[in-house]
Structure 1
Amino acid sequence: MTHDDLIEFRKATISDKDIIWSIIQQSIERRRIDGSQQWQNGYPNEKTVESDISKDFGFVLTVNGNIAVYVALIFNDEPAYNSIEGAWLTTGEFVVVHRVAVSENFAGKGMAKKLFDIIEDYVKSQNVKSIKVDTNYDNLAMLKILEQKGYTYCGEVFLAGGVRKAFEKVLI
């Protein structure tokens, strides 16, 4: 990565699906190697990606036209977040960050951190004041990013068959 690299954030299209699915498979394997239980039970899968794209939830971060990171951004809709063991910081509109997956070609280059900066700018541009995200207890890489980016631990939610740590960041 150099300063000359062209970095773009855009909605995913159906023509991106195969590349996105390949990146998610790489992330599933990375979680397994890291000893994490996250994403080890058949979710997310190819249908998840198709659904994200068809609902306009899927976004990609590209570097020089190559997809580096995939993420699903969902506005105001995560039923599991209605019942939290703990408390959210806000009650208004929010964006949920789900399914962050970094391509092996860009792993270890700070792309997930860059993604969170871009997501914050995007969410602010939509006049939404808060980002909510959850992750597995054993997803140490994501927990570290959330801490570095100033997310507040709010409690636990039950999602995808397990208890997840839930975080929120108030933007405005």
Structure 2
Amino acid sequence: MPAIYLRSAQQQDMAAILQIIHEAKVFLKAAGNPQWQDGHPNQDYIQADIDQHNGYVLMHNYQVVGYSALVFAPDPSYAHLKNGTWQNADAPYAVIHRTAISAQYRGQKLSKFLFSNLLSLGIAQKYHNFRIDTHAVNQPMQHLIADFGFQKRGQVLVSDKIDPLRDAFELNL
């Protein structure tokens, strides 16, 4: 069995991460999803993730095959939840953002490894409340987060020039 693990993203991973993000943008666009079609996430987002120690890469046979940011700080977009309430509104939470798997590895269930590792990392940092948002038409992501027990809590507005409305989800462990 190949080695599959999560590690902190490093500067030398930038090209691989940007390629994975580009492939995800193409995939989302082909599916009719406007998410990530306004130019973000871009290198500036990924650089900030790396600089702030929030970026993580999924490794498979010593190759970068996935990326996600796990942020241990409140997200300003989540301060104003529409059409719902957070289950643990006042509890500290970690946010999962910018999740993508390489097109070469899509369909191999590696996103489950990625999420499992992200949640384990969060728990190790004493976080038991996780939040994520995605576009209403992003069925692959919604299916993945439902598999992990995330519950839809409402909607948030994010920085997106095309369509800023996102469904917001929460998981409490």
Partner residue in 1 for 2:59: 62
CA–CA separation in structure 1 for the residues paired with 2:73 and 2:48 = 17
CA–CA separation in structure 2 for the residues paired with 1:37 and 1:146 = 19
Partner residue in 1 for 2:114: 115
Secondary structure of the residue aligned to 2:15 is helix
**How much has 1:115 moved relative to structure 2?**
1.2
TM-score, with normalisation over the residues of structure 1?
0.95
| Map 1:147-158 → 2, pairs under 5 A | 147-158=146-157
CA deviation vs aligned residue, 1:122-165 (integer Å, no higher than 9, x gap): 11111111110000011110011111211111000000231100
**Structure 1 residues not aligned, in runs of 5+:** none
Q: Which amino acid aligns with 1:115?
A: L
RMSD of Structure 2 on Structure 1 (CA): 0.9
Partner residue in 2 for 1:132: 131
Secondary structure of the residue aligned to 1:35 is coil
CA–CA separation in structure 2 for the residues paired with 1:117 and 1:46 = 25
CA–CA separation in structure 1 for the residues paired with 2:122 and 2:111 = 16
Say if 2:143 is the partner of 1:141.
no
CA–CA separation in structure 1 for the residues paired with 2:124 and 2:140 = 27
Secondary structure of the residue aligned to 2:35 is coil
Partner residue in 1 for 2:85: 87
Q: Percent identity?
A: 30
Q: Report how many aligned residue pairs link the two structures.
A: 168
Secondary structure of the residue aligned to 1:88 is coil
Partner residue of 1:49 out of 46, 51, 58? 46
CA–CA separation in structure 2 for the residues paired with 1:74 and 1:96 = 5
Say if 2:10 is the partner of 1:8.
no
